A and B are shown apart, each in its own frame.
Chain A
Amino acid sequence: MTWQLLKRIAGTRAPAEPLPQADDDWRTESQRLHQAILDVLGRALCIRQIDAGSCNGCELEIHALNNPYYNIEGLGIRFVASPRHADMLLVTGPLALNMREAVRLAYEATPEPKLVVAAGECACTGGMFRDSYAVCGPLADLLPVDVHIPGCPPSPVELLRGILTALRGAAG
């Protein structure tokens, strides 16, 4: 078993690849991203993700950020369990009425700079659910949103780009 495991680890190529960014390749982009984070915060960026009524599609893509291709932890970005440890709230979903109070409490518990990123069509505009009795979004109606990331769901690259945009704004 150990032999198989070692073989598996040794035999797997590290799937680092160029980031499909407009200007530079992945390495360069990730270095700049890392630097931008350090400039703003002087340490790793901690994100508290909140599902405010999403279909879970956005969560699947946020999960994908942790896979070896996007390797978001390698950039110094970490998803944390408590909003008290977070620099940024990454919120998905059309803001279900049943989640409103929880989102508000999480925002209050988050220390400055309290960056807020709305991820996905639902969080940005309410999407197809916006007029529903059970929804009180879009997110910007409740919280000051720094960056909107469109998409249904936004791809991991778009999510990275949105997170970086929020950071640059904060550094600005």
Chain B
Amino acid sequence: MTPLMGIDAFHLPGLTRLANSGEAPATFVAQVDGDAWVRVAAAVAEGAGRLVTIWGAEDDSGTFTVCAAYAVDDGLLWVRLPVGERPSGGARDYPDLSALFPYAARMQRAVHDLTGLRAHGAADTRPWLNHGNWPADYFPLRKSTTGQERFESREADYAFTRVAGDGVHEIAVGPIHAGIIEPGHFRFSVVGEKVLRLEERLGYTHRGIERLFERTPSLAGHRVAGRIAGDSTVAFAWAYCMALEQALGTTIPSRAQWLRALLLERERIANHLGDLGALGNDAGFAVGLAQFARMKEDWLRLNERVFGHRYLFDAIEPGGVARDLADDKVGAMLMQCDRIEREVRSMRRIYDDHAGLQDRFARTGLLTPAMAARLGVCGLAARASGGAMDLRVDHGPAPYREIGARRSGDERGDVAARVALRFMEIDESLRQIRAIIAGMPGGSIAVQPDLRRAPSYGAGWIEGWRGDVLVALETGEDGALARCHCHDPSWQNWPAIEVAIIGNIVADFPLINKSFNLCYAGHDL
């Protein structure tokens, strides 16, 4: 760790910059007290950046810490607030952030369910991940637990917010939805067809992943990270490996870095192709689904041929990548890029000119730029609402700087904008894939990380197809994982759907929901 020059606007004593191996975005770590915790949050809220995530941890000596990560101009700011040895179990463990960042409310509820740490002054203290299926005083991230206890399922009632008034009624949907979709519960309060309010309840797919990391060897952690969310396996595996490599001081070969970006862009395109088909279908345009589903299948098959897995599971591992891009596969990949580009452009003309589709897309599920900023919306959804954030451009690891990653954007904030953005991003990602292949350095594709390191911190921050995923970890003796926190952009974007649906009709919900296509598993962990 080197002393910091820069980002001193926050006036944080003891701020250190984590060693920048593997060209990760700059990460700054600072130990703070309660006052500085609030001061940093306020400065960020005033315009210097946005809150990425909050998490809690207990170390081996029984001391608890609550952490927050902020996206700031210079990179990632990770503040750590020690809160003593014995969480009070309800009173004043750490100052609330949800008054400044409304989307912090659920994160703080999750922190409580996992560690018992309570945000002092938070308005909403309902459980979030604990659905009553384990005891209210069982906190899986505490060192006194094994994380392998067995509990009977005792589903508890949940206090949804009620909307009163003449003719208001509720529609309850889920956790099992009417389709091949992940589980979650949506409670609509409607008048006639119009939605007055939507309240989401998530946590159904909680698998205890953060605790699982603590009993997983760090060199096998990429397999867990890669199964946080199947559609973002590359993003999470890369973020995990980047974090671990930073903590261990591992520098990966340049070729591995470029191959990781190639994998990430292939993952992005696969998801965008799937979504564009599904969005057409949700607006009654079945041809769109058939066409894009076929393109996506072709795309996945080439993944399997080249990298050995249709969704690229376990393609990225600590120290590099598992499989090289063989010279004789390059031609096939480039040819496929040309074909998909042609076909997608032709489909775009059809989508753009189709009055029926545009009628369903335009002005539906509106998320204004001001609201998106207020809600801390990130990733694709933010860029469709006038937001500018794209880690590939802002803090891009190699090779994004070298290939000149470009930002796509739209101001409209409706379903049409989120459709248009996917078209634009496919275009840009195809360009990036070609540039990566053209500029790919030679050499080895992996090194063996050295675990004999002093305990350290690491952060991996990657622009996945949905938005920025973050893995922040602490290593103990011999590189073992002491704590590994994973963040999916859906934490920010789920609350945004509650806003985007207001005033729309119930029948447009599937379309609006699909236009965000958020993650349940990555959120629930």
A60 and B297 contacting across the interface, CB-CB below 8 Å: no
Q: Determine if A1 is an interface residue (Cβ-Cβ < 8 Å).
A: yes
Q: Determine if B476 is an interface residue (Cβ-Cβ < 8 Å).
A: no
Known interface pairs A101-B153, A128-B224, A133-B140; A67-B520 also in contact (CB < 8 Å): no
* A residues near B297, Cβ cutoff 8 Å: 15, 64, 67-69
* A residues near B274, Cβ cutoff 8 Å: 60, 63
| Whole-angstrom CA separation of A1 from B347 in the bound complex | 10
| Whole-angstrom CA separation of A49 from B183 in the bound complex | 11
**Which of B207, B231, B313, B520 interacts with A132 by CB under 8 Å?**
B207
Q: Determine if B179 is an interface residue (Cβ-Cβ < 8 Å).
A: yes
| Whole-angstrom CA separation of A58 from B311 in the bound complex | 11
* B residues near A152, Cβ cutoff 8 Å: 227, 313
Binds A, one of B198-206, B379-387, B416-424, B493-501: B198-206
**Number of contacting residues on A, CB 8 A?**
52
B180 and A93 contacting across the interface, CB-CB below 8 Å: no
**Which of A55, A59, A93 interacts with B181 by CB under 8 Å?**
A59
A65 shortest CB reach to chain B, Å: 9
Q: Determine if B137 is an interface residue (Cβ-Cβ < 8 Å).
A: no
Q: Determine if B337 is an interface residue (Cβ-Cβ < 8 Å).
A: no
B153 and A100 contacting across the interface, CB-CB below 8 Å: yes
Q: Determine if B255 is an interface residue (Cβ-Cβ < 8 Å).
A: no
* A residues near B209, Cβ cutoff 8 Å: 129
Q: Determine if B354 is an interface residue (Cβ-Cβ < 8 Å).
A: yes
B148 and A8 contacting across the interface, CB-CB below 8 Å: no
Chain B, 381-409, contact with A by CB distance < 8 Å: what is the 0/1 string? 00000000000000000000000000000
**Which of B175, B294, B350 interacts with A102 by CB under 8 Å?**
B175
| Whole-angstrom CA separation of A136 from B150 in the bound complex | 8
Chain A, 136-154, contact with B by CB distance < 8 Å: what is the 0/1 string? 1000000000000000110
| Whole-angstrom CA separation of A64 from B293 in the bound complex | 7
| Whole-angstrom CA separation of A50 from B176 in the bound complex | 7
* A residues near B509, Cβ cutoff 8 Å: none
A66 and B293 contacting across the interface, CB-CB below 8 Å: yes
B282 shortest CB reach to chain A, Å: 13
Q: Determine if A98 is an interface residue (Cβ-Cβ < 8 Å).
A: yes
Residue ID in chain B nearest A153 by CB atoms: B230
Known interface pairs A102-B176, A106-B176; A55-B228 also in contact (CB < 8 Å): yes
Chain B, 96-140, contact with A by CB distance < 8 Å: what is the 0/1 string? 000000000000000000000000000000000101011000101
A108 shortest CB reach to chain B, Å: 13
Q: Determine if B155 is an interface residue (Cβ-Cβ < 8 Å).
A: yes
Chain A, 66-84, contact with B by CB distance < 8 Å: what is the 0/1 string? 1111000000000101100
Q: Using a CB-CB cutoff of 8 Å, which residues 169-189 of chain B contact chain A?
A: 175-176, 178-183
**Number of contacting residues on B, CB 8 A?**
62
* B residues near A162, Cβ cutoff 8 Å: none
* B residues near A93, Cβ cutoff 8 Å: 205
A55 and B346 contacting across the interface, CB-CB below 8 Å: no
| Whole-angstrom CA separation of A152 from B176 in the bound complex | 22
Chain B, 282-296, contact with A by CB distance < 8 Å: what is the 0/1 string? 000001001101101
| Whole-angstrom CA separation of A12 from B291 in the bound complex | 9
Known interface pairs A102-B175, A153-B311; A56-B521 also in contact (CB < 8 Å): yes
Chain A, 5-28, contact with B by CB distance < 8 Å: what is the 0/1 string? 100110010010000000000000
| Whole-angstrom CA separation of A5 from B349 in the bound complex | 9
* B residues near A94, Cβ cutoff 8 Å: 207
Question: Which of A12, A51, A136 has the most B CB atoms < 10 Å from its CB?
Answer: A51
* A residues near B313, Cβ cutoff 8 Å: 57, 152
| Whole-angstrom CA separation of A51 from B182 in the bound complex | 6
A166 shortest CB reach to chain B, Å: 18
B360 shortest CB reach to chain A, Å: 16
Q: Determine if B223 is an interface residue (Cβ-Cβ < 8 Å).
A: yes
Question: Which of A58, A60, A100, A127 has the most B CB atoms < 10 Å from its CB?
Answer: A60
A150 shortest CB reach to chain B, Å: 14
Residue ID in chain B nearest A63 by CB atoms: B180
A128 and B205 contacting across the interface, CB-CB below 8 Å: no
A56 and B229 contacting across the interface, CB-CB below 8 Å: yes
A54 and B180 contacting across the interface, CB-CB below 8 Å: no
Q: Determine if B29 is an interface residue (Cβ-Cβ < 8 Å).
A: no
Q: Determine if A97 is an interface residue (Cβ-Cβ < 8 Å).
A: yes
B342 shortest CB reach to chain A, Å: 11
Q: 7 tightest CB-CB pairs across the interface, nearest first?
A: A57-B230, A81-B178, A1-B353, A67-B293, A132-B208, A134-B208, A100-B153
Q: List 22 A-B contacts (CB under 8 A).
A: A8-B350, A9-B287, A49-B180, A51-B176, A55-B228, A55-B229, A55-B521, A57-B233, A59-B182, A67-B296, A79-B179, A79-B180, A96-B204, A97-B134, A98-B129, A98-B206, A101-B153, A128-B227, A129-B207, A132-B207, A133-B138, A153-B230
Q: Which residues of B contact A (CB under 8 A)?
A: 129, 131, 133-134, 138, 140, 145, 147-151, 153, 155, 175-176, 178-183, 203-209, 211-212, 216, 223-224, 227-231, 233, 274, 287, 290-291, 293-294, 296-297, 300, 310-311, 313, 346-347, 349-350, 353-354, 519-521, 524
Q: Which residues of A contact B (CB under 8 A)?
A: 1, 4-5, 8-9, 12, 15, 49-64, 66-69, 79, 81-82, 93-94, 96-102, 106, 127-129, 131-136, 152-153, 155
Other A-B pairs, 4, CB within 8 Å; known A57-B233, A94-B207: A64-B293, A131-B148, A132-B148, A132-B207
